[in-house]
Chain A
Amino acid sequence: MKNKSLIACAALSACLALPSLAQQQLTVVNFGGANANAQKKAFYEPYEKAGNKIVAVEYNGEQAKVKAMVEAKKVTWDVVEVESPDAARGCDEGLYEKLDYSKIVPKADLLPAAVNECAVGIFVWSTVMAYNGDKLKTPPTSWADFWDTKKIPGKRGMRKGARYNLEFALLADGVKPADVYKVLATKDGADRAFKKLTELKPNIQWWEAGAQAPQFLVAGDVALTTVFNGRIDAANREGRNLKIYWPGGIYDLDYWAIPKGTPNKDAAVKFIAFTMQTPQQAAYAQNIAYGPANTKALATLDKKVLDDLPTSATNAKEALQFSVGFWADQGEALEKRFAAWATQ
C-alpha cells in the first residue's frame, strides 16, 4: 500500500511538474508485486538519485495495450517489462524498437538467452514445485510425487492454463527434461500430457496471479504447488518456511522492451543501460531471488544469495529452459485445447 501511494504521489507530482521537467521523466511498466518492489530498490531509486524521474506503472502483461498505443501512435509507456513469448511476437509485429547493444551493455556480458533484437533480458526466474516445510513431513523427490496423492495427500496448486502444466505433466510421466519440448510438439505428446493432467484433475486447485500460490501453501489449501520461485523467496522473507523442489523447474527471462514510437527513446535506452550494469543487477538479485541476466553480476553475489537463484549451478542442474518458440507457435491452440479439456 505504501509503495502504491508513493507511486501515486510520484505520478501526481509528475503531472504537476513543469514541461521542461516532464521531458526527463520516464514511464516504466512492470508486473507489480514483490518483483516491482525489488526493481524499485535496485533500479528506480538509484536512477532517480541521479536527477531523473521514474513513473512506475503496473500491468498484467497485456500486449493489447502496447499494440493499441503503437497503432494509435500515442505511446505513453517508455519502457515495458515483457515475458519472452511477448518479446518475440512483439518484435515480429513491430511493437518494439530495435535495440543497439553498444549503447546498453556488451552482449558478451549477458546470458545468451537475454539477447534479443528488440528486448534485453533483465533477470531469470523459474516456475518450480514448492511446499510448506512446516506442514509437509515427507518432501517430494520427483515430479511423479506431484501426481502421487497417495504418497503426499492433499490438493495441488497449478497455474490456470496450459503453459508449464503440460511440461510438468510430461516430466511426471517420465520424459527427460531435455526431451520435453520435442515430445510436446507432436500430437501424441500433447495427448499424453493432457492425459496425465486428467489423472490429477480432481485434485488441482488453480491459481492465476503469482501471489496466490504461496498463499495457498501458507493457508494449507494445497500440499504442493507450482509457483514462481521469487514469490517463495518473498514469503520466506516474511518469516514463512516454504521450500522449493528445484529439479524440473522451468526457467525463463523477463525482458525490457521499448514500445515503438515513444518520444523518450533515448532516455529509455539510458535507463535500460543503467539497470543492466553490474551493481544494479546484483542489487536486484539481493532483493528478490531472481537471477541477474548480467553474468558479471553473478560473480559479485555471495553464496547465500546465489543458493536461492534459479541460475545457481545446483538449482539449474536439472532445470528446463522455457521454449519461447514452441509457445509462440503452439500457445494459442494449446490454451484453447486446455479450455476444452477443463470442461470435460
Chain B
Amino acid sequence: MNAPDMAPPRAQDSHAPGALRKALARAEVRRKWRAFSLTLPLLVFLLLTLLVPIAALLQRAVENPEVANALPGTMRALDGWDRRDAPPAAAYAALVGDLARLPDRSDAGALARRLNSEVPGARSMVMGAYRDLPFEGTPDAIKERLLGADPRWGEAPFWRAIAKNGARWTPDYLLASVDLQRDALGQVERMPEEQRAFGGILLRTFHISLVVTLVCLLVGYPLAWWLASLPARSANVLMILVLVPFWTSILVRAAAWIVLLQSEGLVNRGLMGLGLIEQPLALLFNRTGVVIAMVHILLPFMILPLYSVMKSVPPTYLRAAVSLGSSPIAAFFRVYVPQTYPGIGAGALLVFILAIGYYVTPALLGGADDQMLSYYIARYTNVEVNWGMACALGALLLAATLLLYGVYRRIGKAELSLG
C-alpha cells in the first residue's frame, strides 16, 4: 500500500475496481434500505402505538399545569412567604382575582381537583370561593370574608399546596407512588404512616408474582420434561391440554375458578365428601384464590418455552452421564437441568413480567389486600380521574419491568430465547 512505486499502476488500475466497489456499496445500501423499508410498517406502528403513548404517559406523570395556569397572580403574591403560617392578605386577594379571571368554570374545577388530591377538602374551598365571586374591597376584607365562609382558609397546608405546585413540572406524583412527599419547604420526606400505601402494594405485587412464577416453574418443569420426552404424536395430544386453557378467555377461567373454589363449590364439597375437612376451606377472595387462578392462567407461558428448549436437548447426554457412573438424579440436575437454563430463564421472566401487570384475576378472586398495582392504576384512571397519579404508577410498573429485564440480562448473560 505504502510502496511509492506501486502507486501509479494501482491508481490507474483501481479506476474500475473503485467504481465497482462504489457500485457494490450502493447496492449494499439499497439492499439495506429495502430490508429496512420492509420493517418500516412495524416500526411506524410501534412508534405510534407504543413509544408515543409511553412517552405521553411519562410526561403526564410529571406534568402539573393546573395551578400554574390558573393562579399566576397568587403565585406572585406568595413569593417570599415563609410557608409556615397563613399567607399575607394580598395572597387572598390575588387568589380571588385569579379565580375571577378564569375563562371557564371547568378551569376552576380542574384546579379544585388538583389541589384536592394534595389537600383533602381543597375542592370545596376553591369551588365555594368560585361560586361566591365577585369579591370586592380591600385584601383584608376579602380575607375576612373567605375566613368567615370557611375557617380552613386560615390554615397553611392549602396555601403550601398552591406554593409547591406553581411549577409546570412536578415530582410529586412519582414521589407519591413510592410513598414520599415534599414537605412545606420542598424537602423530600416519607408520607405519614396511614397514607403509605403504594410501597406495600408494590411489594405485594412482586410477592404475588414471585410466588406465581415459582409455582409455575415447579409444576410446569416436570410436565414440560415429560412432554419433551414423549414421542411427537402423544406429545401433540397432551399439548392440547396445555393449549386449550391457554386459548380460553381469562374472564371465563376466572369465573370457572369462582365456581370451583367457593365454599359450596366443587373443591370444598369434594373434600368434605371425602371426609378430609370438616369446614369448607377459604379458597376464594383471598391470596390462595388469586395464586391458584394466576398459576393456571400463566402456566402455558412457562411450559411452552421450557418445552421448546427441552426439545433441543439431546437425550443421549443424560444416558452418557449415567453410563459413566452418575446416579440418575445427579445426572438430571447436573447435566440436564443446566442445559434448560435458557428455557427456565425465559419462562420465569415471561411469567413474572406478565404477572406483575395482572388486574382482572386479583380483582375478581382477591380480597381488599390482594389487589395489585394495576388495580390502583385503573382506579386512579377511572374512578378518581387523577391521571397524573395513574401515569406515575404506570411509570413505576414500567420501570420495574425494565429493571427486571436488565437484571436478567446481567445475571443470565444469555440472549433471551422465547422458543
Interface residues of A (CB under 8 A from B): 60-65, 67, 89, 91-95, 160-161, 194, 204-206, 208, 219-221, 325, 328-343
Write the chain B residue with the least CB distance to A329: B121
Say yes or no: is B32 at the interface (Cβ < 8 Å to chain A). no
Contact residues in A for B278 (Cβ distance below 8 Å):
none
Residue in contact with B109 in the complex, picked from A94, A329, A333, A336, CB distance below 8 Å: A94
Q: Mark B170-213, 1 if CB is under 8 A from A, else 0.
A: 00000000000000000000000011110011001000000000
B124/A340 in contact, CB under 8 A: no
B112/A92 in contact, CB under 8 A: yes
A29 to chain B, nearest CB (A): 14
B197/A339 in contact, CB under 8 A: yes
B195/A333 in contact, CB under 8 A: yes
Write the chain A residue with the least CB distance to B127: A92
Contact residues in A for B369 (Cβ distance below 8 Å):
342-343
Contact residues in B for A342 (Cβ distance below 8 Å):
367-369, 371
B382/A343 in contact, CB under 8 A: no
B197/A93 in contact, CB under 8 A: no
Contact residues in A for B264 (Cβ distance below 8 Å):
219-221
* Contact A340/B382 with A92-B109, A333-B120 known, Cβ cut-off 8 Å: no
Cα distance, A91 to B113, chains bound together (Å) = 12
Contact residues in A for B109 (Cβ distance below 8 Å):
89, 91-94
Cα distance, A218 to B8, chains bound together (Å) = 101
Residue in contact with B105 in the complex, picked from A92, A204, A336, CB distance below 8 Å: A92
Contact residues in B for A91 (Cβ distance below 8 Å):
109
* Contact A340/B105 with A63-B382, A329-B124 known, Cβ cut-off 8 Å: no
Write the chain B residue with the least CB distance to A160: B368
Residue in contact with A94 in the complex, picked from B105, B121, B376, B379, CB distance below 8 Å: B105
A132 to chain B, nearest CB (A): 13
Say yes or no: is B167 at the interface (Cβ < 8 Å to chain A). no
- 20 CB contacts below 8 A, A to B, read A61-B383, A62-B383, A63-B382, A89-B113, A92-B106, A92-B109, A94-B104, A160-B367, A161-B368, A220-B263, A328-B124, A329-B123, A330-B120, A332-B120, A334-B120, A339-B368, A342-B367, A342-B368, A343-B200, A343-B201
Say yes or no: is B385 at the interface (Cβ < 8 Å to chain A). yes
Total contacts A-B at CB 8 Å: 104
Contact residues in B for A204 (Cβ distance below 8 Å):
367-368
Say yes or no: is B116 at the interface (Cβ < 8 Å to chain A). yes
A93/B106 in contact, CB under 8 A: yes
Cα distance, A205 to B285, chains bound together (Å) = 7
Cα distance, A343 to B201, chains bound together (Å) = 8
B367/A332 in contact, CB under 8 A: no
Interface residues of B (CB under 8 A from A): 104-106, 108-110, 112-113, 116-117, 120-124, 127, 194-197, 200-201, 204, 262-264, 285, 363, 367-369, 371, 376, 379, 381-387
Cα distance, A204 to B387, chains bound together (Å) = 31
Residue among A89, A93, A95 with the highest chain B CB neighbour number at 10 A:
A93
A76 to chain B, nearest CB (A): 18
Cα distance, A118 to B109, chains bound together (Å) = 14
Write the chain A residue with the least CB distance to B370: A342
Cα distance, A92 to B104, chains bound together (Å) = 10
Residue in contact with A337 in the complex, picked from B108, B124, B194, B204, CB distance below 8 Å: B194
B207 to chain A, nearest CB (A): 11
A307 to chain B, nearest CB (A): 32
Q: Is the interface of A mostly helix, strand, loop or mixed?
A: helix
B204/A343 in contact, CB under 8 A: yes
B47 to chain A, nearest CB (A): 21
A158 to chain B, nearest CB (A): 9
A208/B382 in contact, CB under 8 A: no
Contact residues in B for A337 (Cβ distance below 8 Å):
194-195, 197
Residue among B121, B194, B376 with the highest chain A CB neighbour number at 10 A:
B194
Contact residues in A for B384 (Cβ distance below 8 Å):
331-332, 335
* Contact A67/B195 with A329-B124, A332-B117 known, Cβ cut-off 8 Å: no
Write the chain A residue with the least CB distance to B179: A340
Write the chain B residue with the least CB distance to A159: B368
B119 to chain A, nearest CB (A): 9
Contact residues in A for B368 (Cβ distance below 8 Å):
160-161, 204, 206, 338-339, 342
B373 to chain A, nearest CB (A): 11
Cα distance, A95 to B104, chains bound together (Å) = 12
A343/B197 in contact, CB under 8 A: yes
Given A328-B124, A329-B116; 20 other pairs, CB 8 A cutoff: A63-B383, A64-B385, A65-B382, A89-B109, A89-B123, A92-B106, A94-B109, A160-B367, A329-B122, A331-B384, A332-B116, A332-B117, A333-B120, A336-B197, A337-B194, A340-B194, A340-B195, A342-B368, A343-B200, A343-B201
Residue in contact with B285 in the complex, picked from A206, A325, A329, A332, CB distance below 8 Å: A206
Cα distance, A329 to B121, chains bound together (Å) = 5
Write the chain B residue with the least CB distance to A91: B109
A340/B385 in contact, CB under 8 A: no
Contact residues in A for B112 (Cβ distance below 8 Å):
92
Write the chain B residue with the least CB distance to A187: B194
B196/A340 in contact, CB under 8 A: yes
Write the chain B residue with the least CB distance to A333: B120
Contact residues in A for B376 (Cβ distance below 8 Å):
339
Cα distance, A89 to B109, chains bound together (Å) = 7
A64/B382 in contact, CB under 8 A: yes
A335 to chain B, nearest CB (A): 7
Cα distance, A331 to B123, chains bound together (Å) = 11
Residue among B108, B120, B127, B382 with the highest chain A CB neighbour number at 10 A:
B120
Write the chain A residue with the least CB distance to B364: A208
A208/B363 in contact, CB under 8 A: yes
A329/B120 in contact, CB under 8 A: yes
A67/B200 in contact, CB under 8 A: no
Contact residues in A for B197 (Cβ distance below 8 Å):
336-337, 339-340, 343
Write the chain A residue with the least CB distance to B112: A92
A87 to chain B, nearest CB (A): 13
Contact residues in A for B385 (Cβ distance below 8 Å):
63-64, 67, 89
Cα distance, A338 to B200, chains bound together (Å) = 12
Contact residues in B for A62 (Cβ distance below 8 Å):
382-383
A221/B263 in contact, CB under 8 A: yes
Write the chain B residue with the least CB distance to A207: B285
Residue among B127, B200, B371, B383 with the highest chain A CB neighbour number at 10 A:
B383
B200/A340 in contact, CB under 8 A: yes
Cα distance, A337 to B198, chains bound together (Å) = 10
Cα distance, A61 to B124, chains bound together (Å) = 22
